Structure 1
Amino acid sequence: KSDGKKTKKEGKDAKLNSEQLLLEEAKELPPVPLSRIWDLQKDNLPLIVIGCLGSLTSGTIQPIFALLYSSIIYTYFNPDDNALRAGINNYVGYFFLLGSCALLAALTRIAIFVGLGEQLTRKLRFLSFQSTLRQTMSFFDDPKNSVGRLTTRLASDATLVKGATGDSLGLMLEGFSSLVTALIIGYTASWRLALILTAIFPLLIAGSVFEFKRFTRQTKTANKSTERGGEILGDAVTAIRTVSAFNLQQDMVALFDDSLIQPLEEGKRRAMIQGIGAGFKQFVLMNAYALTFWSGSEFIKRGELDFKSMMRVFLGFTVASEGIGRITGSMPDNVKAQAAARSIFFLIDSSNEGTDVDPMDDENGTKLDAPISGNIEFRGVSFSYPSHPELKVLKDFSLQIENGQTVALVGESGSGKSTVIQLVQRFYDSSSGDILIDGRSIREFNVTWLRSNMGLVQQEPMLFNDSVQYNIGYGVKSTVKP
């Protein structure tokens, strides 16, 4: 039960900090080209093309709406009632048609990209879990590969990767299409006024980039303090009997409260940065609107512009700024997607697939037709755990066990008793020397076949969350199903 509680605790802690940890850990991992993520989607290329077309079409809806809106306003200045009625009726039809196109375009973008994103998540979770089970025991000895971290890669990281190819991509394409279409409309109406307003765009982009970078930096800093709080919480729950026995509840609460101070301060800073960034962008927009009407009035006085064209530029600029917002708003999702991809593909690439210790490889290595007799021999075996290579657990160890013998390994804690069993199972390979079964090196045998010929009852058995029958017979693949 204690192992089960620890697993749940680590999983919750890791999920709490997963996105904060992600950017920090990704720096230490090799970059993943975007093409590798797209390779997982290559079977869906026709759907991706349709989704991109839907996104680009959806991006043109708002600029076209701005164009129609500026025109319908000008129609109301017509003093002829019949002409006014006819003009309005025409625009009503245009708006209905535009709404129908918006419905189809949005449906296409969301249905395809969200669906493909979920498919990608499923593939990555499958590959991650498969690669996790293919790792050597030394992989799990590394604290970075705790149960919580590995659970997070399956639960959160795989979901974040779809930000590079899922709906976030659709939103970026939509924003790009909206920006380009709005600029075309604005420059067509009045290139002079549009050029003046285009000079404002770098300020909007700078505000978004500043907000994003500062927010990312503050998130990384907040991670360390949040992680400390998770450790205190986990330790207190795991050792609740000890905490209760020594009346340490108040002390643990005080420690946990102290650990929350820094995250609180970092949260306030993030809120301030977000407020400054959002306020700055609104300030720039409002001043851009003021500049539009002031400059437009000057051009109108000189006869270089009419009211309808000025409104087209104004509304086009408004839509273009929204397009910039969609593009910059997708930046955090793309950064998280790249970081998550590094984590997942590093796990996949570090698996033992295709090696002689791949537990899912049923072909590599020797399988004996005759049953194993059970003669085991250690010849000058030396071994150190990969996590502590400086500590020799076994040094020039030799032992011979004949078929039918009952052998007990007796020694103090840390003397290598369990290590001997793990070496026979090829959970680890010895640094030097060799281990033989029936006169043949265990390195020659197929590792899956080798382990299937062994029976092991551990000192602290782990039970799967299933029936007693399943837990007794899960090693017999032909008779017991999970």
Structure 2
Amino acid sequence: MSQPTNDLYGNVVWSSIQYLFVVGILQAFCVLIQYYAFDTSGRRQTNRIRNNLFRAMLQCNVTYFDENQTGRLNSKLFENIEIVGKGIGLDLAQILRSLGKLASSICVAFYGSWQIALIMTYTIPLVIVTGKLFSKAITKETFNEFNAYSKAGHIAQEVFSSVRTVLSFNGAKFAHQQYTQKLEGCQRSSIKKGFVYGLFRGWMYFNLYLTYAVGFLCGLLLMNAKKNLVSLVDILVVVLAFARGIAAFRLVGIFIQSSAEACGAATPAWDFLDNVEAGKSIETGIFEDNNKEKKTSINGNIRFDKVTFTYPTRPDVCVLQNMSLLARAGETTAIVGASGSGKSTLISLLLRFYESTSGQIVINGQSLSNYSVAELRQNIGVVNQEPTLFDTTIYENIRFGKKDASKIEIEEAARLANAHDFIMRLPEKYETVVGERGAQLSGGEKQRIVLARALVKQPQLLLFDEVTSALDRKNEKIVQEALDQACKDRTTIVIAHRLRTIQNANQIYVLDNGTLIEQGTHETLMVIDGGKYQAMFRAQQTKETVYDNDDEMVNKLPEKQLPTTNIDEHPETIFADAKLESLNYVESSVTSQRSIIWRLISMNKLQWIPILIGGLACTCIGAVEPTFAVALSFIINESDNNDFSSSHIDYVRDCLSV
């Protein structure tokens, strides 16, 4: 690069230009490093926090999920942590850069004139102390805002998950009122936070221009006292450098809100992690235990010995009272009774979701507490009344029961569960995505896949909790055949509502209000006159006779009045319809996006008064900088006046106008 020969560019000016060019390149490189490093660090820390939270949640006892709302858990795990990631990522980088600018500006100011700079340092502790107070207030209101949003989110999730029930009872208006009420709490916290943040920003602007005024007034006094003590250049260097530092700290205020929000969002997450660490749940070691090969056998008798239990969430209700029963190895044991009699609670105690209040459970001669949670559950297969499937393929849903299962093992488990044939009729076979909670499958198909998932790990103990109670007669028969086949040569405990499904059980226990009232086989219980089991069985027989008569009437209807599509016979139709609906939705979404801006404007038409007031305030704030430039030019003009003593009144006026 050749140096210009024009006299306008002297050596000093040219050197300054080269210096600024080099500084600009270095700054661009440093900014690149800053954004890359802090964004990468923030993302990694966010993922690590999420992993730790999710791991801690999986280590919680079932009691924790009984006491806490799922909407709050999702908010804590995902939404709040994203705010934390922003606060510890790029916003933290901006804060550090602004603090560095403040430190360097103070150094330059002291180099220019330490007398003026020393006087102006009063603003630093003032800004720091007030910034700390404002940050604390913003953090508090942010925490309240997130807490209110999590409550609103829980209501929305609960309504959408049970939308048919809500609509059938005309509960949409009531649900909307509840959601609106929770949002009003969010709005109040948000308004308070915005008000505090506005005060903080206004206070920082006031300190910035106060710094200008104090700096120039100090320069006036020093120049008036001694002509050669400071010059106009010294005053400009000190004041502008110091003001740049205060302006940098003002930029810190912009990101203090983000940091305060990050602190408010992180508070419940840290409290949760600390509580899990201090609680030492029995689930804590399950991650380590799952990685070990298990050789423990639980293929023995299962005995409940005077077990008493109350749920932690209902300590005043005794669910099981002095319960004693025996499930022999290799046999099928059935447990029946009315709703609320404690049947499902026995399953939960066997899986160690809860610990019994008193008494003990013995498996194969050892207390249940001697088995680790991982080795116990690895040897138990569970099928519940409500089948739970994940929004993935059938193959992955079955493999969830045994992560290292081969394709042959998965297909064998599906055959054992009477599921292989209908799976092979699907378009994608085992790679068919079942949808959210298995929405693309019928109830019987879902139950058979869940049964295959329980059988794929070849469990020694099977637990069936009212598996067929929600199925129609046709699907019940198919599923029951699969259950009977799966129970061969295995210890099986069946919780049954339909008593005809457990007539062949080796032992039947009848519960009532948490106590054992009858036991025996189906034949021995049926001969007990006035017995509970006998009454329940005969009542169900009467209902089933009525239903059978209804089925016969349906069979007599003309063919054209009957539905012609059966998902069991044509499972591929529902998936084809789903794809068509998806394409139609995409097409309609593209069209609707064209008018979304106008819709947003129309939604805010009732807020025109606060928007107008805010717009006027923004205009006034924008006019401050040009006004300051005019005032600064007057100050420089008065300072450069040779007859300074005659113009000091105008100088003071200009300083105060700043």
Deviation at 1:269, TM superposition (A): 4.2
Secondary structure of the corresponding residue to residue 10 of structure 2:
helix
- Indicate conservation of the 8 Å contact 1:364/1:446, yes or no: no
Question: Structure 2 residue aligned with 1:444, among 370, 381, 405?
Answer: 370
CA distance in 2: counterparts of 1:253 and 1:152, whole angstroms: 20
Question: Which position in structure 2 is the counterpart of 1:101?
Answer: 26
- Indicate conservation of the 8 Å contact 2:205/2:250, yes or no: no
Question: Which position in structure 2 is the counterpart of 1:25?
Answer: none
CA distance in 2: counterparts of 1:476 and 1:259, whole angstroms: 42
Choose 236-245 or 280-289, whichever is displaced more: 236-245
Match runs of 1:16-415 below 5 Å: 82=7, 85-143=10-68, 146-162=69-85, 166-222=89-145, 226=149, 229-230=152-153, 232-254=155-177, 256-301=179-224, 302-303=226-227, 304-335=229-260, 336-337=262-263, 339=267, 342-343=270-271, 345-346=273-274, 349=277, 358-362=285-289, 368=295, 372-415=298-341
Secondary structure of the corresponding residue to residue 389 of structure 2:
coil
1:457 aligned onto 2:383: yes
Max radius of gyration: which structure? 2
Question: Structure 2 residue aligned with 1:476, among 402, 415, 423?
Answer: 402
What one-letter code is carried by the residue in structure 1 that aligns with 2:359? G
Deviation at 1:339, TM superposition (A): 1.9
Deviation at 1:236, TM superposition (A): 4.3
- Indicate conservation of the 8 Å contact 1:182/1:319, yes or no: yes
Deviation at 1:295, TM superposition (A): 2.8
- Indicate conservation of the 8 Å contact 2:200/2:253, yes or no: no
Choose 260-269 or 416-425, whichever is displaced more: 260-269
CA distance in 1: counterparts of 2:51 and 2:177, whole angstroms: 42
CA distance in 2: counterparts of 1:107 and 1:381, whole angstroms: 65
Secondary structure of the corresponding residue to residue 317 of structure 2:
coil
Deviation at 1:459, TM superposition (A): 0.8
CA distance in 2: counterparts of 1:451 and 1:273, whole angstroms: 53
- Indicate conservation of the 8 Å contact 2:102/2:246, yes or no: yes
CA distance in 2: counterparts of 1:147 and 1:314, whole angstroms: 56
1:147–1:232 Cα change, 3 Å: closer
Secondary structure of the corresponding residue to residue 409 of structure 1:
strand
Secondary structure of the corresponding residue to residue 393 of structure 1:
strand
CA distance in 1: counterparts of 2:284 and 2:12, whole angstroms: 77
1:471–1:119 Cα change, 3 Å: same
Choose 296-305 or 242-251, whichever is displaced more: 242-251
- Indicate conservation of the 8 Å contact 2:308/2:356, yes or no: yes
Q: What CA deviation, in whole Å up to 9, does each residue of 1:38-84 have, x standing for no partner?
A: xxxxxxxxxxxxxxxxxxxxxxxxxxxxxxxxxxxxxxxxxxx8375
What one-letter code is carried by the residue in structure 1 that aligns with 2:387? P
CA distance in 2: counterparts of 1:156 and 1:254, whole angstroms: 24
- Indicate conservation of the 8 Å contact 1:153/1:344, yes or no: no
CA distance in 2: counterparts of 1:476 and 1:366, whole angstroms: 12
Which sections of structure 2, spanning at least 5 residues, go unmatched?
Answer: 1-5, 408-430, 432-658
CA distance in 2: counterparts of 1:357 and 1:309, whole angstroms: 66
Choose 276-285 or 432-441, whichever is displaced more: 276-285
What one-letter code is carried by the residue in structure 1 that aligns with 2:237? R
Deviation at 1:434, TM superposition (A): 1.7
- Indicate conservation of the 8 Å contact 1:378/1:399, yes or no: yes
- Could you tell me the TM-score, scaled by structure 1's length? 0.71
Deviation at 1:463, TM superposition (A): 0.7
1:478–1:211 Cα change, 3 Å: closer
Deviation at 1:230, TM superposition (A): 4.2
CA distance in 2: counterparts of 1:264 and 1:157, whole angstroms: 17
Secondary structure of the corresponding residue to residue 138 of structure 2:
helix
Q: Which has the higher contact order (CA 8 A, sep 6+)?
A: 1
Deviation at 1:158, TM superposition (A): 4.2
What one-letter code is carried by the residue in structure 1 that aligns with 2:335? L
- Indicate conservation of the 8 Å contact 1:374/1:403, yes or no: yes
What one-letter code is carried by the residue in structure 1 that aligns with 2:45? L
Q: CA RMSD in A?
A: 3.4
1:342–1:411 Cα change, 3 Å: same
Deviation at 1:431, TM superposition (A): 2.3
CA distance in 1: counterparts of 2:87 and 2:179, whole angstroms: 37
1:99–1:473 Cα change, 3 Å: closer
What one-letter code is carried by the residue in structure 1 that aligns with 2:93? G
1:231–1:374 Cα change, 3 Å: same
Question: Which position in structure 2 is the counterpart of 1:420?
Answer: 346
What one-letter code is carried by the residue in structure 2 that aligns with 1:359? I
- Indicate conservation of the 8 Å contact 1:186/1:316, yes or no: yes
Percent of aligned pairs sharing the same letter: 28
Secondary structure of the corresponding residue to residue 362 of structure 1:
helix
Question: How many pairs were matched up?
Answer: 398
1:347–1:470 Cα change, 3 Å: farther
CA distance in 2: counterparts of 1:328 and 1:167, whole angstroms: 14
CA distance in 2: counterparts of 1:245 and 1:155, whole angstroms: 32
What one-letter code is carried by the residue in structure 1 that aligns with 2:65? F
Deviation at 1:362, TM superposition (A): 2.7
Which sections of structure 1, spanning at least 5 residues, go unmatched?
Answer: 1-80
What one-letter code is carried by the residue in structure 2 that aligns with 1:393? V
- Indicate conservation of the 8 Å contact 1:132/1:351, yes or no: no
1:216–1:367 Cα change, 3 Å: closer
1:394–1:361 Cα change, 3 Å: farther
CA distance in 2: counterparts of 1:363 and 1:456, whole angstroms: 18
What one-letter code is carried by the residue in structure 2 that aligns with 1:475? G
CA distance in 1: counterparts of 2:51 and 2:242, whole angstroms: 45
Secondary structure of the corresponding residue to residue 479 of structure 1:
coil
- Indicate conservation of the 8 Å contact 2:72/2:150, yes or no: no
- Indicate conservation of the 8 Å contact 2:53/2:269, yes or no: no
- Could you tell me the TM-score, scaled by structure 2's length? 0.54
Deviation at 1:461, TM superposition (A): 1.6
Choose 399-408 or 207-216, whichever is displaced more: 207-216
Secondary structure of the corresponding residue to residue 380 of structure 1:
strand
Deviation at 1:271, TM superposition (A): 3.6
- Indicate conservation of the 8 Å contact 1:211/1:274, yes or no: yes
What one-letter code is carried by the residue in structure 1 that aligns with 2:215? T
CA distance in 1: counterparts of 2:148 and 2:73, whole angstroms: 21
- Indicate conservation of the 8 Å contact 1:134/1:351, yes or no: no
1:358–1:202 Cα change, 3 Å: closer
- Indicate conservation of the 8 Å contact 1:157/1:343, yes or no: no
